[in-house]
Structure 1
Amino acid sequence: MNIALIAHDKKKDDMIRFTTAYQSILKEHTLYATGTTGQKIMDATGLSVHRFQSGPFGGDQEIGALIANNKMDMVFFFRDPLTAQPHEPDVTALIRLCDVYAVPLATNMGTGEVLVRGLEREDLSWRNIVRGQAPVSESV
């Protein structure tokens, strides 16, 4: 599955803890991230991450384009709801796209854990069907 990892500045440490804790699950998937978040994840975990621009410089929009083209299966966007973001319209648009295209979205570590455990159990293999691909494993 294609998974986006995004974190506002005050949530980057949470994202590092999260990706470190679930490294064994995440390494089985294709990971994408906005600039600084992706670099921090790679440095801390050794995971391979395709990096886009930083969020304020268009990274959120690059990930949004993948969602709109049905090429992103899940988004972990650890947001800081207490700090004004200069690119707030981009953040809102990304969340809206997840809703429009039924892409699972976690905006905090609590929801993130539920999604990553579902990923581990292959509960989200329906995304393969949405993308027109055969499920990863089929029961006979």
Structure 2
Amino acid sequence: MNIALIAHDNKKNDLVQFVTAYKSTLEDHTLFATGTTGLRIQEATKLNIHRFQSGPLGGDQQIGAMIAENQMDMIIFFRDPLTAQPHEPDVTALVRLCDVYAIPLATNMGTAEILIHGLERGDLKWRTIIHEKQGKENGE
């Protein structure tokens, strides 16, 4: 599965700790992240992560484009609800795209843990079925 990891500045440490705790689960998947968040996670865990631009420079939109193309399967986005974000419209658009395309989205550690445990149990296999169906429709 393709999993995006995003965190606002005040939540980056939390996301690094979360990914470190669930490294054994996440290492079996293709990971994407916005710029600084991805670098911090890579340095702490040595996981292979495709890094996009930082959020304010378009990283959220790059991940949103993958969602619109049905190339993203899960988003873990530790948001900071107490700090104004200069790119809030991009964040809102990303959340909206997750709703439009039925992409599982966690915006805090509690929900992220539920998604990770579901991933471990195989509860998200339906995303694989969608990809297989699309491949057949596209003649792959």
Offset, 1:133:
5.4
Offset, 1:4:
0.2
* Corresponding residue number in structure 2 for 1:106: 106
Q: Which aligned runs of 4 or more in structure 1 are off by greater than 6 angstroms?
A: none
Quote the Cα distance in structure 1 between the aligned partners of 2:121 and 2:91: 29
Question: Equivalent pairs: percent with the same residue?
Answer: 71
Quote the Cα distance in structure 2 between the aligned partners of 1:9 and 1:120: 28
Quote the Cα distance in structure 1 between the aligned partners of 2:103 and 2:10: 24
Quote the Cα distance in structure 2 between the aligned partners of 1:128 and 1:94: 21
The runs of 5 or more residues in structure 1 that have no matched partner are: 135-140
RMSD of aligned residue pairs (Cα, Å): 1.1
SS of equivalent residue, structure 2 residue 72: coil
Quote the Cα distance in structure 2 between the aligned partners of 1:129 and 1:97: 20
1:8 aligns with 2:11: no
TM-score normalised according to structure 1 size: 0.94
TM-score normalised according to structure 2 size: 0.94
5 Å-filtered alignment, 1:1-140, equals: 1-132=1-132
Quote the Cα distance in structure 2 between the aligned partners of 1:13 and 1:51: 17
Q: Which has the higher helix share?
A: 2
Offset, 1:132:
2.4
Offset, 1:8:
0.1
SS of equivalent residue, structure 1 residue 132: helix
Question: What is the aligned residue count?
Answer: 134
